[in-house]
Each structure stands twice: as C-alpha cells, then as structure tokens.
Amino acid sequence: MHAVLGTILCLLITGTAFGQWDLPKNLPPDEYGTVLINRTSEKSGVKPAVFSHWVHRRKHTCRVCHFEIEFNFKVNTTEITEAASKGGRYCGTAGCHDGTASFGHTEANCGRCHTGSRAADQKLFASLASFPKNRHGNGVNWVKALEKGLITPLTTLTIPQADMSFDKRLRLEAEWKNIPAAVFPHEEHNAWLDCNNCHPDIFNIKKKTTKHFSMVRILSGEFCGVCHLTVAFPMNDCKRCHPKMR
C-alpha cells in the first residue's frame, strides 16, 4: 500500500514539474531545423531565404558555419548581406555557394534560396528514409548516422580543427525532485562543434558551474536551448538527456 501511494505521489510531483515546463511544439519532420533568413529580405522586396539544417548537415558540421563562417546561432542576428555573400563571406565562402563547390549568387539562382517557405526542400527529405530513426525533430538520429558513416560531413574549410578528443561525460542534477540527472556527453558534441561554440559564452568552464542553469531558462532559448529547441533534437525527447527517466 505504501509503495502504491509513493508511486502516485511521485507521479503527481513529476506531473507538476512538467506542467510548469512549456515544452515546444515542433515543426513537421521535413521542416524541423529549417529557418527563414529574413533580416533584410522583405524590406528589400524579396522573399526570405530558406536554410535547411538537415540538408547541409550531411555535408558540413555545425563548426563550419558557426565557427569558421561566423554565423550566430540565433537566426536573423548575423549581419549577412547579398554583397557580403557575393564578396566571399557567409554563404558565399569558398567551398560553399561560391559557384564552384555549389551554385553561386547569380540572378538565375535567386529563387533556389529566396523561396519564403520552410517546405522548399520537402522532395529531398525522402533521402533520409534509411537513416537511424529518432522519435522527434527530423525523425533522424544524426549522432548514429555519423557514427555509422552514413554521412561524412567536412569539419573544416580553411581553419584546422584543434584536438577535440575531450570525452568527459558530465552528470547534471535535475532541479526537480524525482527527475533523474541529465547527462552531457562531450564526445558526441565535439564531433559537430568547436569548444568555443559553447565556451565561455553559453557555458562557463569554472568549477562552480554555470549560474542560473535551469530547465525553465533552457526552454526560453538559453544554454542547451540555443540548439535543442529548433535545430538539434528537441526538448520533447527527454530520455536523450535524462536516460534514467521512465
């Protein structure tokens, strides 16, 4: 009897905790991780440009765009312009949309990016059907896809990558009772990112840990939420971070 009451109490406490978390409603799998770049597009009389992370993730790691090419993580905060891209920056960086490695910034190609719709790459989505499955996001487990060699994205364009062999796994105690600790694996993240993508701007590296690190703030777009709300697997996938959660 005591065991049954304990289980009910545990569920009530956990349910209350989840009730206070505003878990995101995700886009359809073929649109998840796809953003519309509209910092100046509509102001200039053209449709917003579409960027599908799942399309580019097969060819380049996150590090290439968010370290070497200097795109901010938050969409529409990078001061990208057509002139800059044509001049060899941002999307027009050598090895990207420079007219050699991939289609360039010519008038004939404008409509390939400036679609104004997240659904622009739907026809290509079927090519992911054989990839390892995930219940959320794109429906693809990208970590396993990389481990199995199904994708071989470039980790660098011009700046050699530093030693990324750090594989420490962090145990992060949950802020709510009866919710098991989260686990952060450096090794899996190092396969995609550079250390300075996260440190020190998003997470400090001091022994006293990052201040104000909480689920509420993560769901508002801070800390893990910088990536795991709209691009990396979403927060709905609780067990990916809290492996002992039932």
Domain that holds residue 109: 34-145
The answer as to whether 47 is a domain residue is yes
The answer as to whether 175 is a domain residue is no
The answer as to whether 112 is a domain residue is yes
The pLDDT value recorded for residue 21 is 66
The answer as to whether 174 is a domain residue is no
Chain-centre distance for alpha carbon 14: 27
Contacts of 4 (CB under 8 A, 6+ apart): none
| This prediction's pTM | 0.86
Residue 6: both structure tokens together: 């304990």
Please name the amino acid found at residue 65.
Answer: C
Q: Could you tell me the CATH number of the domain that includes residue 68?
A: 3.90.10.10
Q: In the beta sheet, which residues pair with residue 172?
A: 182
Tens place of pLDDT per residue across the chain (246 aa) = 444 444 443 444 444 444 556 777 889 999 999 999 999 999 999 999 999 999 999 999 999 999 999 999 999 999 999 999 999 999 999 999 999 999 999 999 999 999 999 997 888 999 999 999 999 999 999 999 999 999 999 999 988 888 888 999 999 988 888 899 999 999 999 999 999 999 999 998 876 678 888 889 999 999 999 999 999 999 988 999 999 998
Total structural domains in the chain?
A: 1
In the chain, beta strands by DSSP E: 34-37, 49-52, 169-172, 182-185
**93: helix, strand or coil:** coil
